[in-house]
A and B are shown apart, each in its own frame.
Chain A
Amino acid sequence: MNWFKYSSPASFYPVAGKVYPWFFAAAMILFVVALYVGFAVAPTDAQQGESYRIMFVHVATATLSMFLYVVMALWCASSLVFNTRLSAMMAQAIAPTGAWFTFIALWTGALWGKPTWGTYWVWDARITSELILLFLYGGFLALTQAIEDPRRADRAGALLALVGVINVPIIYFSVRWWNTLHQGASITVSAAPKIAQPMLVALFAMMLAFWAYAIAAALRRVRCIIVERESGSDWLRALKRQGTL
């Protein structure tokens, strides 16, 4: 199977259209499951009471916010290396979703911080790096929107994302550099999880839900970008005639 076949907007557009509703449906189902397990099944935390339940949304969005930036940077690298238009479009389709996840992670973190630490905001390393990540997304979005020529916008944004991704490891390792109020990670690969089984189930279901949502949103958005960029091309006109745009 030749994967590069789908690097052309014309062949990717219908595939994305077929696939994204499935991811969206999966996201909805997993989201409902995660909410049910997280709020009805999972036990109350011994120290934090009920307020810990915001973790299910907070941890999942925070993880994805960083992961999506790396994915975006990979698409950017691919767009610069292979000079494929679709890669740059994918990067721009992912950026708003990543920015939203970053914002939600900060917001839920503030709401979680109030009952747990007694304050909405602390200048802790991880919170601060998440805020920096929001600015990085903002810079990428602002730069790509400010440049009129799509080709220059794609390439300039790609370069910026690659420069910015150097900061993502700094964000990740910042916990070790400036260890402050924020609690250490509770789930590690090596040690056994320190949280109860239903909590883990809810957390992973929520993560999968957001994963599926991110994929669905990116595919939906990339279809809009393709239509915008390729308007006037023959294949789009043909699709329009068939009524399958």
Chain B
Amino acid sequence: MSGARGEPSDARGERAGARAERASAARAEPVSALGAIGWACRRDLLLTAHGKSELALVFVFFVLVTSLFPLGVGPEPALLRAIAPGIVWVCALLSALLSFGRLFGSDHADGTLEQMIVSGAPLAALVAGKMVAHVLVIGVPLAMLTPLIALQFGLSAGAMIVAVAALLLGTPILVGLGAIGAALTLGVRGGAALLALLVLPLAIPVLIFGAGAVDAAEAGMSAGAHLSLLGAGLIAAAIGCPFAAAAALRIALD
């Protein structure tokens, strides 16, 4: 199978090269899980760096949608401060949701995904690598944008720091859930709306604890409990989600 439609040629070359490299490695010796994670992560980061990616749109969406709320509810500073933690989290969740289609979409379109499944490398590790790359490309920038939004909504410096920490802990969980949803809806008609229906209910605990952490910090209390719960969720997601997403990929490409 050749490269995906409308993909820049350098990315296609990268893809083909990576595929050939992968095939020869599979013949030579079994790939370790850590090696597979590193390979998949590096490959996705390279593809993002080389391609004209639409990633910037996700961040524009994030800032744009948060700016709509003051216009909708009025510029009252006390009200904005009160709703800011929830808005930051809901908007981060929706922005991340926009990006999940990319996780497996182009790899599915050009056949790379099938190659990954038959390559002999542990699929869960490859999926984990793709998740790590996605967190670095989407989750970390979203967290870094949060201080800007916190300033707009008049949050205190302490709450701002907690918001960044909570997003750093929470977005990997969202990416894990999103990977499961994206794999389940791969190639299904109405996939984007379906993905939202599958992922958003599962992401609600993350939203509650994430926004709760910022709320607590804004109220002058310790955000430790909320952040600990997010951390626990992150560990559970890091262990469970790659396997579940890999199983879902096998089901989708069976």
Supposing A163-B180, A164-B202 touch, asked if A155 and B197 sit within 8 A by C-beta, the answer is no
Q: Select which of A138, A142, A152 is within 8 A of B251 by beta carbon.
A: A152
> Are A135 and B180 in contact, with the CB atoms below 8 A?
no
> Are A159 and B197 in contact, with the CB atoms below 8 A?
no
Q: How many chain A residues touch the partner (CB < 8 A)?
A: 19
Supposing A143-B185, A146-B188, A160-B184 touch, asked if A132 and B194 sit within 8 A by C-beta, the answer is no
Residue of A nearest to B177 (CB): A163
Report the separation of the CA atoms of residues A83 and B251 in the bound assembly, to the nearest whole angstrom: 13
Name the interface residues of B143-191: CB closer than 8 Å to any CB of A: 180, 184-185, 188-190
Q: Tell whether A54 is near chain B: CB-to-CB under 8 Å.
A: no
> Are B184 and A170 in contact, with the CB atoms below 8 A?
no
Name the interface residues of B187-235: CB closer than 8 Å to any CB of A: 188-190, 194, 197-198, 200-202, 204-205
> Are A132 and B201 in contact, with the CB atoms below 8 A?
yes
Supposing A143-B185, A146-B194, A170-B205 touch, asked if A135 and B200 sit within 8 A by C-beta, the answer is yes
Q: What are the residues of chain A within 8 A of B244 when measuring CB–CB? A: 159, 163
Q: What are the residues of chain B within 8 A of A135 when measuring CB–CB? A: 197, 200-201
Supposing A155-B251, A156-B184, A156-B252 touch, asked if A143 and B194 sit within 8 A by C-beta, the answer is yes
User: Chain A's interface: helix, strand, loop or mixed, by majority?
Assistant: helix
Would you give the 0/1 interface string for A151-187, flagging 1 where the beta carbon is closer than 8 Å to chain B?
1100110011001100100100000000000000000
> Are B201 and A159 in contact, with the CB atoms below 8 A?
no
Q: Select which of B184, B188, B202 is within 8 A of A167 by beta carbon.
A: B202
> Are A159 and B202 in contact, with the CB atoms below 8 A?
no
Min CB–CB distance B170 → chain A (angstroms): 16
Residue of B nearest to A177 (CB): B208
Q: What are the residues of chain A within 8 A of B197 when measuring CB–CB? A: 135, 138-139, 142
Q: Tell whether B29 is near chain A: CB-to-CB under 8 Å.
A: no
Q: Tell whether A147 is near chain B: CB-to-CB under 8 Å.
A: yes
Q: What are the residues of chain A within 8 A of B190 when measuring CB–CB? A: 146
15 contacts between A and B (CB under 8 A): A139-B198, A139-B201, A142-B194, A142-B197, A143-B185, A143-B198, A146-B185, A156-B251, A159-B184, A159-B244, A160-B180, A160-B198, A163-B202, A163-B244, A167-B205
Question: 19 more A-B contacts (CB under 8 A) besides A151-B254, A167-B202, A170-B205?
Answer: A132-B201, A136-B202, A139-B194, A142-B197, A142-B198, A143-B184, A146-B185, A146-B190, A152-B252, A156-B184, A156-B248, A156-B251, A156-B252, A159-B180, A159-B247, A160-B180, A160-B198, A163-B202, A164-B202
Closest 8 CB pairs of A and B: A135-B201, A155-B251, A139-B198, A139-B197, A156-B184, A146-B188, A132-B201, A156-B251
